[in-house]
């Protein structure tokens, strides 16, 4: 069987390199001979060692019956959407690392794949090389998942780690991340939480079986986090992390992405630098966590190739991993959430703030004044924030406190 790789960027070139490095092993696991026949890219690859496989024309792939697996590593919605759909309709397996596309059109592709008796697999779209979607679906299958929470974006975790460990400002930490190649020149997708949002949307869809679209997930980024917020959390033995999560509440499913306060010794609170981690809480299972480098050329390529093996070796027995399309009604309003909140105010606002929010625990050894509230409902929190404003109390920060 032949493979076509669409998009020869970091992940795509990694897939080709890792494939040829481990070809024997991959063929052995797949149970058949495999080769990369096409590399599709609009850029000129005539100087690449794989020039003989290069084509600019996706139709070469589509019209070649030898190609059984299309690896889509272009990223973005267009033309990846079109190429993926046409590949599936032509009866070819599609394997992707493209979280944006999976989050936007996963249900559609999963349905087409099912109809055409092929696989649409996307392990690499969340957590890069960390085996996550397969074990989530397969091994957690028997029980009830009450929550999934994760550090889903390595760039923001690197930035938060520098703020926590080195006391850097957000701006300085972002610059360091950019200088080290961990952040794009335009870092919005990372620091504003959109990347984490797509990933928690995919995880939610998979775990609860219905497509949850990114625009349904309330999303806050880390751009407003101050060094003083990080210091206050530290003084309480906590770290601020960008957490994407979905939780079963009494009223329904709540999902959001937001900078949150976690104990430094907790499973997620302890994850530093560019590492990612996803914690799954099951009614029978307790907490399990998957941890690793969430990105990088070789880890992501490795996850893509595992999916290629899986697609090919599953044969006619198509994976059930997936979900169905749904109206925008799988989640309920994020304000149904119930958490304690870490509040920081100027020292002069201490009394008013404590009277409004209630003080469960004062944080000692900080500039200004910081404290933890009792557990508050999200609607109540909003109402109290409004009241604080009316009373002239400026909340320097108000971050949810989580136990992951």
Q: Which residues are catalytic?
A: 199
Q: Is 180 in the site for its own copies (CB under 8 A)?
A: no
Q: Is 114 in the site for its own copies (CB under 8 A)?
A: no
DSSP E strands: which ranges in 194-252? 218-219, 238-248
128 closest CA partner among 256, 274, 327, 340: 274
Q: Which helix (H) or strand (E) holds 357?
A: helix 350-357
Among 316, 327, 390, 392, binds its own copies (CB under 8 A): 316
Number of residues that bind its own copies (CB under 8 A): 55
For residue 94, the cross-strand partners are 70, 120
Shortest gap between Cβ of 109 and its own copies (angstroms)?
A: 20
> With respect to its own copies, which residue has the nearer C-beta, 269 or 378?
269
Shortest gap between Cβ of 149 and its own copies (angstroms)?
A: 13
Distance (Å, whole) CA 198 – CA 204 = 10
Q: Candidates 14-22, 50-58, 243-251, 376-384: pick the segment binding its own copies (CB under 8 A).
A: 14-22
Which residues are within 8 A (CB) of 38 and not within 5 positions of it... i.e. 6 or more apart? 2, 4, 5, 53, 54, 55, 60, 61, 64, 67
CA terminus-to-terminus distance, the chain? 44
Q: Is 226 in the site for its own copies (CB under 8 A)?
A: no
- Per-residue buried b or exposed e for 2-30, using 16+ beta carbons within 10 Å of the residue's own CB: bbbbbbbebbbbbbbebbeeeeeebbeeb
Shortest gap between Cβ of 296 and its own copies (angstroms)?
A: 7
Beta strand 67-72 with 93-96 is: parallel
Residue 45 phi, psi dihedral angles, 5° rounding: -110, 20
- Is there a contact between 164 and 234 (Cβ–Cβ < 8 Å)? yes
CA atoms within 13 A of residue 209's CA, in its CB half-sphere: 5
> With respect to its own copies, which residue has the nearer C-beta, 286 or 392?
286
Among 221, 299, 322, 378, binds its own copies (CB under 8 A): 299
- Is there a contact between 135 and 126 (Cβ–Cβ < 8 Å)? no
Q: Is 343 in the site for its own copies (CB under 8 A)?
A: no
Q: Is 138 in the site for its own copies (CB under 8 A)?
A: yes
Residue whose entry in the numeric block shows the structure tokens 């910081």 = 370
Shortest gap between Cβ of 225 and its own copies (angstroms)?
A: 22
Shortest gap between Cβ of 101 and its own copies (angstroms)?
A: 21
- Is there a contact between 158 and 274 (Cβ–Cβ < 8 Å)? yes
Q: Candidates 42-50, 153-161, 237-245, 278-286: pick the segment binding its own copies (CB under 8 A).
A: 278-286
Q: Is 117 in the site for its own copies (CB under 8 A)?
A: no
Q: Candidates 42-50, 52-60, 131-139, 243-251: pick the segment binding its own copies (CB under 8 A).
A: 131-139
DSSP letters for 100-162: HHHHHHHHHHHHHHHHHT--EE-GGGTTTTS--HHHHHHHTTTS-EEEEEEE--HHHHHHHHH
Among 40, 67, 303, 312, binds its own copies (CB under 8 A): 303
Q: Is 291 in the site for its own copies (CB under 8 A)?
A: yes
Among 10, 282, 352, 385, binds its own copies (CB under 8 A): 282
Q: Is 87 in the site for its own copies (CB under 8 A)?
A: no
Q: Is 225 in the site for its own copies (CB under 8 A)?
A: no
Q: Candidates 39-47, 183-191, 292-300, 356-364: pick the segment binding its own copies (CB under 8 A).
A: 292-300
CA angle, 271 then 277 then 282, to 5° = 125
Q: Candidates 18-26, 40-48, 236-244, 330-338: pick the segment binding its own copies (CB under 8 A).
A: 18-26
Q: Is 142 in the site for its own copies (CB under 8 A)?
A: yes
Q: Is 135 in the site for its own copies (CB under 8 A)?
A: yes
Q: Candidates 64-72, 111-119, 307-315, 386-394: pick the segment binding its own copies (CB under 8 A).
A: 307-315
Among 32, 42, 51, 139, binds its own copies (CB under 8 A): 139
Residue whose entry in the numeric block shows the structure tokens 């696989």 = 119
Distance (Å, whole) CA 301 – CA 114 = 25
Q: Is 40 in the site for its own copies (CB under 8 A)?
A: no
Distance (Å, whole) CA 113 – CA 93 = 8
Please tell me the chain's helix, strand, coil percentages from 3-state DSSP, rounded to the nearest 5. Answer: 40, 25, 35
Among 187, 244, 267, 378, binds its own copies (CB under 8 A): 267
Interface ranges with its own copies (CB under 8 A): 18-19, 21-22, 25-26, 29, 31, 123, 129-131, 134-136, 138-144, 265, 267, 270, 272, 282-293, 296, 298-299, 301-303, 305-306, 308-310, 313-317, 320
């Amino acid at each position: 069987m032949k493979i076509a790789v669409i998009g020869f960027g970091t992940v795509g070139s990694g897939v080709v390199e890792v494939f040829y490095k481990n070809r024997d092993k991959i063929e052995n696991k797949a149970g058949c001979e495999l080769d990369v026949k096409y590399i599709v890219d609009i850029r000129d690859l005539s100087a690449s060692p794989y020039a003989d496989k290069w084509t600019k024309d996706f139709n070469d792939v589509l019209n070649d019956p030898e190609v059984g697996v299309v690896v889509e590593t272009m990223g973005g919605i267009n033309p990846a959407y079109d190429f993926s759909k046409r590949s599936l309709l032509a009866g070819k397996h599609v394997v992707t690392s493209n979280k944006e596309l999976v989050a936007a059109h996963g249900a559609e592709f999963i349905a087409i794949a099912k109809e055409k008796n092929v696989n649409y697999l996307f392990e690499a779209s969340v957590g890069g090389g960390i085996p996550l979607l397969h074990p989530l679906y397969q091994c957690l299958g028997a029980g009830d998942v009450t929550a999934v929470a994760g550090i889903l974006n390595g760039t923001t975790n690197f930035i938060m780690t520098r703020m926590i460990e080195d006391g850097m400002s957000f701006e300085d930490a972002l610059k360091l991340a950019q200088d080290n190649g961990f952040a794009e020149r335009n870092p919005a997708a990372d620091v504003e939480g959109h990347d984490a949002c797509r990933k928690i949307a995919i995880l939610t869809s998979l775990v609860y079986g219905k497509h949850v679209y990114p625009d349904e997930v309330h999303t806050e980024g880390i751009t407003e986090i101050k060094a003083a917020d990080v210091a206050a959390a530290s003084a309480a033995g906590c770290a601020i992390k960008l957490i994407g999560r979905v939780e079963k509440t009494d009223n329904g499913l709540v999902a959001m992405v937001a900078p949150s306060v976690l104990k430094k010794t907790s499973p997620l609170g302890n994850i530093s630098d560019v590492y990612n981690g996803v914690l799954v809480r099951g009614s029978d299972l307790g907490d399990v966590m998957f941890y690793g480098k969430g990105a990088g050329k070789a880890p992501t390529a490795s996850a893509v190739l595992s999916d290629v093996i899986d697609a090919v070796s599953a044969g006619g027995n198509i994976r059930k991993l997936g979900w169905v399309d749904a109206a925008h009604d799988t989640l309920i309003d994020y304000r149904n959430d119930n958490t304690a909140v870490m509040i920081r105010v100027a020292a002069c606002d201490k009394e008013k703030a404590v009277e409004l929010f209630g003080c469960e625990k004062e944080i000692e050894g900080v500039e200004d004044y910081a404290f933890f509230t009792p557990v508050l409902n999200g609607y109540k929190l909003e109402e109290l924030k409004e009241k604080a404003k009316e009373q002239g109390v400026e909340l320097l920060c108000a971050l949810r406190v989580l136990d992951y």
